[in-house]
Amino acid sequence: MFYIYCPHCGEHREEEEFHAKGQAHIARPADPDSCSDKEWGEYLYFRKNPRGLHHEMWVHAAGCRKFFNVTRDTVSYEIKEVYKIGERPSVVAAGN
């Protein structure tokens, strides 16, 4: 089991209390009416699946019910950083 740090509760909690919510930092096209089908399709359906650092959204479902971002290594499962929505990650993969 993991202990995951919740930046809202300010402490580590059992993994059981959290849910993973997929890739973070997905920007919605600013004007959906005038974007191309390709742009909209990529926004809706296409996700990264990196080997290595991945920025993900998690939710503290059984706790404060707030979302936050996690930078996780998909090879080792190690959580490198936890940061709030709206903040920039300080740990990023080279070339990103």
Partner 1 sequence: MSEMIAPEKVAANKPEAVQEVARMNQLAGPAQRAESPLHHADLGTIAQKGPKNGGVTLQEHKLLGHLVIRGSQDNQAFLAGAREALGFDLPTAPLSSVQQGDRSVRWISPDEWLLIVPGEEAFDVEEQLRAAMGGHFAIVNVSGGQTVLELSGPEARSVLKKSTPYDVHDRNFPVGKVVTSVFAKTQAVIRRTGEQSWELVIRRSFADYAWLWLQDASAEYGLVVKA
> Which of 38, 65 has the CB closer to partner 1?
65
Chain residues in the site for partner 1 (CB under 8 A): 8-11, 13-14, 16-17, 33, 62-66
> Which of 11, 78 has the CB closer to partner 1?
11
The span from the CA of 5 to the CA of 11, in Å, is: 5
For residues 37, 21, 60 and 28, what is the CA-based torsion angle, rounded to 10 degrees?
-20
CB of 61 to partner 1, least distance (A): 9
> Which of 21, 23 has the CB closer to partner 1?
21
CB of 25 to partner 1, least distance (A): 21
The torsion angles phi and psi of 53, rounded to 5 degrees, stand at -70, 135
> Which of 9, 92 has the CB closer to partner 1?
9
**Cα–Cα distance list, 30 to 26, 34, 39, 46, 56 (Å):** 12, 9, 11, 17, 22
CB of 49 to partner 1, least distance (A): 30
**Do 68 and 95 form a contact (C-beta atoms < 8 A)?**
no
